[in-house]
Structure 1
Amino acid sequence: MLYFIVLVAFFILMLLYFKIAERYNIVDRPNERSSHTVVTIRGGGIIFCAASLLILLLYPAYWLPATGSLMIGAISFIDDRITLSNKIRLIVHFASVTAMFLFLNIFHLSWYWPVIFYILAIGIINVYNFMDGINGITGVYTLVTLGALQYINLRVIPFTEANMIWFLMLASIVFLYFNFRTRARCFAGDVGSITIAFWLVFFLIKIILQTNDWKYILLLSVYGVDSVLTIIHRLILKQNIFKAHRLHFYQLMANERKVPHLVVSAIYGIVQGIINLFLVNQIGNVNSAITFVVVLLPLVVIYIIVKRLMMGKRDALSAA
């Protein structure tokens, strides 16, 4: 009954937000770098902030990560409305992640571990934001990843309150209802992709610390390979990696090869889902190195070969 009430409440909140967004012109207008062609409501991912607030109210013991998620969500929502300086965003991101780390007792570890985890957390949060570029991809990928985390939490290694993941999954379902469409009713905006990325980082670091097993990071392997290899590609092209572009694997599929957005999003979700099934079966296997090779090597090979084919006659190492 609780989940039904939460689901209905999330739908109502989303519809109310649409009214507000339409009144105050909170919209995303297409430009030359966009993968959409019509004006669409931005910031629909604010529903993940609603889930964060619910977690804060029902599970006050988790007030540090919940507050961190609301802080990073708030600054991202503001940045969706007015472009903020990188310094302001970075300070808030750093403060939010610090709140998470205080809860996880990361500062009690050797000095180099906080450095590693800061790089990991900030990196994943930004990667997740960069990958939010076509209809459905953030919602589908998030739902698949949360589903795997919940299975592990309930059936393998309990590491957090189950309802925290359920609430975020319900928020993903509501968001997908409005976003997984040929013509999306809304986009996640930075507020959506960054807030949910914050929670995924929290769950992943928590389970890594609890098990001392890094293979759980592979629950984000598809996004990771696409992002890291695209950065390398752009560095080879001597491009500014901090500027918008259309060289991600999913962008080439959607824009260059005109594969429908929903098909591309489904492919990403299915591939990550298959990897997640493999990872679940590998839990307890002490040889994590082999697991990394088995998962990452095929993704890297597919990325390089298929990307060259998608770029057609253009040289994949010289195209802009």
Structure 2
Amino acid sequence: MRILVTGGAGFIGSHLVRRILDRTDPLLPAQEVLVLDRLTYAGNKTNLAPVWEDPRLTFVRSDICDAPRVRRALEGVDLIVHCAAESHVDRSIQSSDAFVRTNVLGTHTLLQAALELGVGRFLHVSTDEVYGSVEHGSWTEREPLRPNSPYAASKASSDLLALAFHRTHGLDVRVTRCSNNYGPYQHPEKAIPRFVSNVLKGRRIPLYGNGENRRDWLHVEDHCRALALVATQGTAGRVYNIGGGTELTNNALVKHILTALESDWSMVRNVPDRKGHDARYSVDFTRIHTELGYEPRTPFATGLPATVAWYRENEPWWRPLIAEPEPA
């Protein structure tokens, strides 16, 4: 099998690439893995260092909006796993242009090339944020999309494009929508690595509003295992929610992090709430459990301390990624 992973030098993509090439996942045996990544601030070749010398790995530095280069990269590919995306909500609030370009136009470029070249399968990796906030219960895959941030709106748009290519052209497209991911190699703009790195630098954790916003947490290894299941055993044209099964308020999350770092609440500073901050995300992942046998295997009680330890031990990886120091 020849697999192309877009955004394969990013957080989720690099985990999947390492998993495939380490033969951790027997569902995805690959003769070749092509990584297509523009290496923006969130893409990092060092994320692929453990497998960089593997002869089955081919790295192509390219923008997914560059149609000729995308088309050349897709020739002979059996499966596309589309992880590439602009994914930080705060950045999308400040400036949404790049989000529309990459997440919508880039996805369209990939879909069109996949259709023209006869790529067998297209796995589109999305987010639970497309559903918007849910006060009670959990969103199923049948819920309408109600995104509230420019980031979430751009991802919802790309989901609809991907599904339209299946319904209109018969392209084998499968869509996944995951909860908040965490784990090693995540860029320090994201919540958990940002909180951890702040404390390690002796700076306080910036906590939005009253800290009562709720999120479900999914370890990246569980996410990648679910992606392999959907890619190989899922149904074309279907959407699969991927949950982690650990719902926490941001206050509770910060307490867990402070405990793991042997610190206390004096390292927290409340900051004005984010514009349009969704109160709660929660996905029902009954479908992927029932149809494909997925369930999360990494307990948060062990996954979070292991992640904190990784950042503590790998400061040379994350420190260069922090552009400016924050006020204490």
TM-score normalised according to structure 2 size = 0.28
Higher relative contact order (CA 8 A, sep 6+): 1
Task: Determine which structure has the larger strand proportion and give its number.
Answer: 2
Choose between structure 1 and 2: higher helix proportion: 1
